[in-house]
Each structure stands twice: as C-alpha cells, then as structure tokens.
Amino acid sequence: NSYKLYKDKAKSVLASKVHLIHIISTMPFIPPKNIQSVRLPTIQIMGLTCYIYCLTLVDKGVCPSCQW
C-alpha cells in the first residue's frame, strides 16, 4: 500500500510540475522576484487519509527544462 502511495504521489508531483511550468511560461510579465508567489496545491486522498501538498518554484531559472 505504501508503494502505491509513493507511486501516486510521484505521478501527481510530475503532473503538477507540468501545470506549474505551463502557468508560469504563459505569464511572461511576472517579475522574477514574484515567481515564488505562484503556488499549485495538490490533494491526494487514499482511504480516509488526505495529503495536501503545495508546489512552487524557488526561482525562475531553477528548472532546467523551463525555457523562459
């Protein structure tokens, strides 16, 4: 059960990263100092347990796959 939780968490983090990169890349007007204010919440529910995560970028140049 813990393997499934880890696998699902990895998938949701990767999907959230794709969405976050898309959101930031479609907002070229955002200053680099405000890039940390863009947050993407993720909720994972398994049984009666709920995990809440928040994905954000530390800096505009921190993601090597991003081309801004």
pTM, entire model = 0.64
pLDDT in tens, 34-58: 777 888 888 888 888 888 888 877 6
In one-letter notation, the amino acid at residue 42 is T
The Cα–Cα gap between 57 and 36 comes to: 6
Contact between residue 35 and residue 60 where contact means Cβ atoms under 8 Å apart: yes
Q: Write out the H or E segment, with its range, that includes residue 25.
A: helix 2-25
Question: What is the reported pLDDT for 7?
Answer: 83
Yes or no: say if 39 and 53 are a contact pair by the CB < 8 Å rule: no
CA distance 22 to 43: 19
**Greater pLDDT, 19 or 60:** 19
Give mean pLDDT, residues 7-12: 84
